[in-house]
Chain A
């Protein structure tokens, strides 16, 4: 599986895939076919012209495939040799195995479907001679993600039970989803929270339950989105750079460097400094630094008394 295969090879692969696809979708529009194969309409027309010349040796009308597409809709006849799709290669099998493993958990409640998934995985692994060395785990329930995507497209408001890691508590909230974002492997939902009457960012993996609210969605002015309660801080780092880099989402390697970190939560900053176990020092704002000292002293006293 070379990453950069020569153009004629990619082209041949597409031509071979086209015949069974058209056979299964007789009368498909050229534009739809182009979309399915992720090429332009003119490229698809060129492909079809090439295919039109292909067939069994002899290359007379009897041996050539009977391909018609002048009307803008494609039909194929007399192509029995290539009619069946090609067998899945090992990489394709692995992509499907990982995909099946990913959805398995979300479907665990449905035993019939869970059984189908196991059966399909087993059959695919055996066919391709792949062992069970490929696993995928979705930290986010794909039902939750589907609910949010649905709410986003319909502009619905949702009732949510959320576990806040910063305040370490469960809350019931009414939210209007605005945007899904992925940062450093973590999926976030940017939403308007009707309880806080402010914009909030939620981690998808902390959403416990979600359902569509019966109340009508409200329109939210997007120009008030900016700087929704952002706290910024100066932090300096001493060691354990990889962890610091990943925790604070920094691009450059910081070692004894002051950096500016913006966060929507003071709690997050305080907890992150603590969890950095002495490798990070908050320089500014000063009152946040005092809060950290106080908290550290409080915990320390408790340990010494215990």
Chain B
């Protein structure tokens, strides 16, 4: 293992240090570790190039010199290799380190940790005293989160089994546009290829693996697509008028568009989209709320209450 990594490090150093393109022959002649016949050296080098690229190192090909030979040369441009965050202060480093630490023990921990090591290698001391004491924590997610991130960045389709309301599983194929966490859960949204419509998914309802399509760049993310505003948009279509008891139902009051004082009660108007979900949250508040409008919502509540009285039995 160390021989191979030693060769890869030496190759990186040589390609970084050179001011001109190095030909394959120069590489084989000068860099330690290329052994065997021409064919096996060739194979080793091809693999090494792929390996360095998989680490995100850009290797440039060029320098065809017509006078001497036709051979391609290779180099790594220092400006592509090195981290350059522009002018950066100790307070900035502290903020970025805090941002990385939010992933402690969470899905992107390894990735955030490697970012943190790079930040600590810049040579600027983190000025922790310049920022308030905070303990941010990312919402937990399965390891599948990494696949969603990769799909969004490479613009690849993803396929997965999704748990529907009735617990049945559906196979979905999505072009993912955005990823967000809210209220302790991760959501991703994108184009549902079969339904040809934008859909939002909760990551913990995905069953099993999220499989990435082999092809990259299969879609374009609409500019300005924002999952939060998308969630909000679909969450606000109808308006209900509800009486709420004074000093009660804070969760509903928080979402109220307006509040009118009616003595023992307040009358609030509130936006909702999915009647089933809204009904649940109204029922949660028991006798502290009374729906005035719309009529269909009132009727559904009355139906539910009748059912509850029946199934729980009369005294």
Contacts and interface: CB of A to CB of B under 8 A. Distances in A.
- Pairing of A with B: yes
Contact of B6 (A50, A132, A277): A50
B260 interface: no
Interface string A64-103: 0000000000000000011011111111111111111011
Contact of A300 (B6, B81, B139, B309): B309
B84 to A, nearest CB: 7
Contacts of A184: 184
Please report whether the interface of chain B is mostly helix, strand, loop or mixed according to DSSP. Answer: helix
Given A275-B281, A282-B312, A15 B5 contact: yes
A1 to B, nearest CB: 5
Contacts of B123: 23-24
B66 interface: no
A246 B51 CA distance: 43
Contacts of A253: 167
A50 B247 CA distance: 68
Interface string B186-217: 00000000000000000011000000000000
A9 B9 CA distance: 10
For this complex, into which size category does the number of interface residues on chain B fall?
35 or more
Contact of A36 (B96, B117, B205): B117
B228 interface: yes
A55 to B, nearest CB: 6
B259 interface: no
Interface stretch (A134-142, A191-199, A213-221, A222-230): A134-142
Interface of B: 1-2, 4-6, 8-10, 12-14, 16-17, 30-32, 51-52, 54-57, 78, 80-86, 91-92, 95-96, 98-103, 108, 111-115, 117-123, 131-140, 143, 146, 149-150, 152-153, 163-167, 177-185, 204-205, 221, 223, 225-228, 247-251, 276, 279-281, 283-288, 290-292, 298, 301-309, 311-315
19 contacts: A1-B150, A56-B14, A94-B153, A95-B99, A102-B138, A113-B131, A113-B132, A116-B92, A120-B92, A133-B221, A142-B136, A168-B251, A169-B248, A242-B205, A255-B167, A277-B283, A281-B311, A295-B286, A303-B305
